Each structure stands twice: as structure tokens, then as C-alpha cells.
Amino acid sequence: MDINYRETIIAGNWKMNMLASGVRAYADELAPLIPGFRDWSAAVVCAPFALIPAAVEAFTKHGISVGAQNVSEHSSGAYTGEVSCAQLTDLDVRYVIIGHSERREYYGETDDLVNKKTLAALDGILRPIVCVGESLRQRETGLTYDHVSKQVKAALRGVSVENMRRVVIAYEPIWAIGTGKTATPEDAQVVCRHIRSVISSLYIEDVARAVTIQYGGSMNDKNARELLAQPDIDGGLIGGASLKPESFATIINAANQ
């Protein structure tokens, strides 16, 4: 990571875990373990919709931002079960995960839909964490760069230079999510550097240099420091390890080394 040019952002993705009744205890346990994180940048907890009010109340007093795990591409209307950007910002949500591999795989989210949600989030004053990454088959057949390039270009279609500075990209190799497998720091760095080069080709080098690129493939308390030492890895999108305050704190503190 390069703190001279861009933010370091550690975001926990709780997925469909936790209960509202346990959020305050989690936050109170986490806060004393991360006394210096404000020195570098941002810690975020992306909670399920039902837990967001409790998360905002529990975390913001500790300087930790709250994010959502999904958002509608529509601003309002007859879309039962969906949640809009305005509804999220009204709850003091600041970040939103878009295009997570589980949304793409289980709910059929396409590159086009990811783009629409990204534009909606930016219009709604949210910071989108846009996820990209390849499957094991794509990796083994040498398609990683082509696939990731396609996803990045599609997600950023129509995003202005000004708004690009608010976008976060999360590289999440699908084969390393929830499997315990992790790309080596060198492998992760190569792909994150490639993502930055794609952004540079779409905008200019200064814009690409300012974009936060997270690694999101099973980063945990044991490998975080080595991954975060890579020049183009500017944080993490943390799954299972974010469910335990001690493990999440270790990752947050590793970003401040």
C-alpha cells in the first residue's frame, strides 16, 4: 500500500451473519483493540440491511464507518425487497459493496447491473466497493487478466473523473473466497497492479494512482501484514475474519504498520 497517494481501507463483510442484539458488544470489544487506526485511514463494517441501524449506533462513536452489502440500481418505486441509496444514506451508511462474487453467482448480477449500481451509488453519495475477480478455471486457463479487465471496464463505464476518486475496487479471486485458500502476496499484487493499469488506461495515471484497491480473497489475521505490504494493495475486504473482533483488529492494525 502507498499511503502517500491513497487511502487504506479495511472493510469487514459480515455477509448474512450476526444479530442486531450482538452488534454493540462486538463494537465495544473491537474499539479498544484498534486505538491507532485513525492515523491512517478508514475501518468499515458492511452489515446486513437489518443490522445497519444497530451498527451505525454502535460503530460511529468509535470512528468506524458502516457500509451495506448491496443496493438497488433504482432510486425508488415498486421494487419489493430492494433498498435504495437514499434509504442507506438516510441511515448514515457511507459505503456499499457492489458486484460481490456471491451476488454475481447466486443472484445473476451481470456486469451491466454492476455498472448501474455503481453509478447509482455515486449519484447517491455512497462510496462503492466494486468487486472483481476470476474463477479457478479462468485462472488456470490464463484468463485472469482478460476477465478482470472486462469487469473493471464494464463497472466504470460512465464514471466521471471526479467520481472515480470515490470508487474503491476490491480484487476478490473467487477461488480464494471462503475456501481458506489465498493468493500469494506476489500473485495478488500482480493482479492489483494490473487493475490499476486498466484504470490508468481509462482515465489518467494520477487518477489510477489515487484509487484504493483492496484484496478480498481470504485475508486474515495471519496473512494481512504480508498482503498489505504490497505496493498496490491498499486494504482488504474481509469476510470470515471480520466476524471475530480480535482477528479483525489484527488486520486493521496490520494496515498501520
| Count of domains for the chain | 1
Residue 175 has pLDDT above 90, yes or no: no
Domain membership of residue 1 (yes or no) is no
pLDDT in tens, 38-74: 777 899 999 999 999 999 999 999 999 999 999 999 9
CATH of the domain at 126: 3.20.20.70
In a domain, 4, yes or no: no
Domain contains 213: yes
**Assigned domain for 64 exists:** yes
133 in any annotated domain: yes
pLDDT tens readout for residues 114-135: 999 999 999 999 999 999 999 8
- pLDDT (0 to 100) of residue 3: 64
User: Does position 178 have pLDDT exceeding 70, yes or no?
Assistant: no
Q: Answer yes or no: is 137 within a domain.
A: yes
Q: How far is it, in rounded angstroms, from Cα 197 to Cα 205? A: 8
Structural domain including 201 reads: 9-254
In a domain, 211, yes or no: yes
Q: What is the pLDDT of residue 5?
A: 81
Q: How far apart are the first and last CA of the chain?
A: 11
The pLDDT assigned to 4 comes to 66
Per-residue model confidence as pLDDT tens digits over 194-210:
999 999 999 999 999 99
pLDDT of residue 183: 79
Active site residues: 100, 172
Closest CA to 49 of 68, 29, 64, 63: 68
In a domain, 166, yes or no: yes
Residue 167 pLDDT > 90, yes or no?
Answer: yes
- 55-62: long-range contacts, CB 8 A cutoff, minimum separation 24: 55/23, 55/27, 56/91, 56/92, 56/93, 57/24, 58/23, 58/24, 58/26, 58/27, 58/28, 59/27, 60/92, 62/27, 62/30, 62/31
